[in-house]
Amino acid sequence: MTQPQAGAVTGAHLPTHAPTHTPTQAPAKDTPADVRRRLRSIFSGSIGNLVEWYDWYVYSAFALYFAKSFFPKGDQTAQLLNVAAVFAVGFLARPVGGLLMGIYADRYGRKRALLISVVLMCLGSLTIALTPSYATIGVAAPVLLVLARLLQGLSVGGEYATSATYLSEVASKERRGFYSSFQYVTLIAGQLTALGLLIALQQFVLSPAQLEAWGWRIPFLIGALGALVAMRMRSSMEETQSFTEAATKNKKRGTLAELAKHPRALATVVGLTLGGTVAFYTYSIYMQKFLANTVGLTKDVATLVSGASLLLFAILQPIVGGLSDRIGRRPILIAFGVLGTLLTVPIMTGISQTTNPWVAFFLIMAALVIVSGYTSINAVVKAELFPAEVRALGVGLPYALTVSIFGGTAEYIALWLKQAGHESLFYWYVTGTILLSLLVYVFMRDTREHSRIEH
């Protein structure tokens, strides 16, 4: 890998009417041309994010169907436990991805890092799609599955850090919460696309037997092809003004030594992520299995309920993100912390005890409204904590470590406690993590007022 060419740096000083490939700026007051240019940059950055998260979530969406293909025969909970364990293994690679891709993005640019991450995701999806079943190749099947998830973990670990940094840097100060919220819009859209494809295959194309036999491979092949499209789109993205300025002023970019100068910001990322990531993975990833395995809804109905709630959840993101531009980030985070601490156990208990899909839907939506206080603004809050020379690394590494330890294991802990006969303890576990994050929200400064992006 080589340093960026001089032209990539001097391009930052071209006038705003220069060609599309000049770095994106964030002027104090947007002209119509500025708005169009910013929206084009956000779309280019976000579409790849959608594909990446589609590939990541397809694994969970289709787990009910491919569990039998990769593992020996057993009861459904045991097979899902194995699938959840591999899901958690993928998270182990996310801190490595956050570290390596964060360093690369801070040294060589956000655009280049985003291109590499989508290539890794393409390779992971293609591997899963083409791996023979356990009945055909034995233990090699779960081994290849683990390797594929490790590749995807590297990709997602770098994707989050770089896309959060890119969207926050490309946005204007007055609308940064709104624009950066589209990271989770596309993240959720990726998950919705995975669920939508599952619903289409369930309802109109394949029988349950066909889905379990070979149909589950289709979405992974689609994901690999989608990654190729994302690579094409990202190749025409603009670099951000923040990076190009940092590249000319600071040669010590993207180093652990520089990152170590910001211990409070690092600790804040860990603390504000803890409760949010556990809650998010509980209500978005685990909920489909919870509805089928605990509530007793059919797989089709569980998928429909999950998909409908996630659609509304995606719509909430820019609304709450825009609100943070008006009242600040901290009040919204505190609202999530307080409501999540008080209502998680009643909501989860209510879902587990109902047999009505509509009741389950409204309870899940209540939970997701609360979780929006974290998901809509967590990316911009983290980006605002760090200077440009270590922003991608500062956002990515502590976030990925926290998600790997707590978010990636949430589903496994839930299933393990269910198998042990103590499922309700998981509801208290989620509550406890949110409470710990609430303490961080109470004592942290509001990053909207103390943003490092302007410095």
pLDDT of 93-104, one tens digit each? 888 988 999 999
CATH number of 38-236+246-443: 1.20.1250.20
Which residue in 54, 15, 47, 48 sits closest to 33, CA to CA? 15
Burial readout 281-310 (b: 16 or more C-beta within 10 A, e: otherwise): bbbbbbbbbbbbbbbebebeebbbbbbbbb
**Band of the pLDDT at 334, cuts 50, 70, 90?**
very high
In Å, the largest CA–CA distance within the chain is 65
Q: State the CB neighbour count (10 A cutoff) for residue 179.
A: 25
- On the question of pLDDT at 132 being above 60, the answer is yes
Q: Do you know the residue count of the chain?
A: 455
Q: Which two tokens stand for residue 29?
A: 């007051």
67 and 82 in contact (C-beta within 8 Å)? yes
pLDDT of 160-189, one tens digit each? 888 888 888 887 788 888 988 888 888 889
What is the phi-psi region of residue 356: left when phi exceeds 0, alpha when psi lies from -120 to 50, beta otherwise?
beta
More confident residue, 425 or 47: 425
417 and 361 in contact (C-beta within 8 Å)? no
Average pLDDT, the chain: 84
- On the question of pLDDT at 425 being above 90, the answer is yes
